[in-house]
Amino acid sequence: MALARLHGGPLDGQVLPLDDETQSSLIMPYSETQVVYDRAGDAEHTGDDDGPTEIAFHYVEAQDDINPDVDGRDE
């Protein structure tokens, strides 16, 4: 099993298990929308003794606008 390391966007820094190492993109739920991350390069740490395999994914877009300052209250 490989790990997906997310870069940029609202899930920056998250590390997730990746069942399929051939995936070219990830669509992840975020709040009331979805965010898209695309694969960025080849797998790293693929040897037997250098830790878990990691694949970088970079933020592309969100389905809707993301505004982290809005908490649902009317002012």
Domain range summary for the chain, segments of one domain joined by +: 2-62
pLDDT recorded at residue 70: 53
| Tens of pLDDT, residues 5-62 | 999 999 999 999 998 888 999 999 998 899 999 999 899 998 888 889 999 999 999 9
In this prediction, residue 31 carries a pLDDT of: 86
* Cα dihedral across residues 14, 6, 25, 41: positive or negative: negative
- Say how far apart CA 68 and CA 60 lie, in whole Å: 17
Are 8 and 18 a contacting pair, CB within 8 Å? no
Q: Which residues, including other chains, have CB under 8 Å from residue 12's CB and lie 6 or more apart? A: 6, 59
The pLDDT, as a whole number, for residue 9 is 94
Which position has the higher pLDDT, 72 or 10?
A: 10
pLDDT at residue 35, as a whole number = 95
By 3-state DSSP, what share of the chain in percent is helix, strand and coil, each rounded to 5?
0, 45, 55
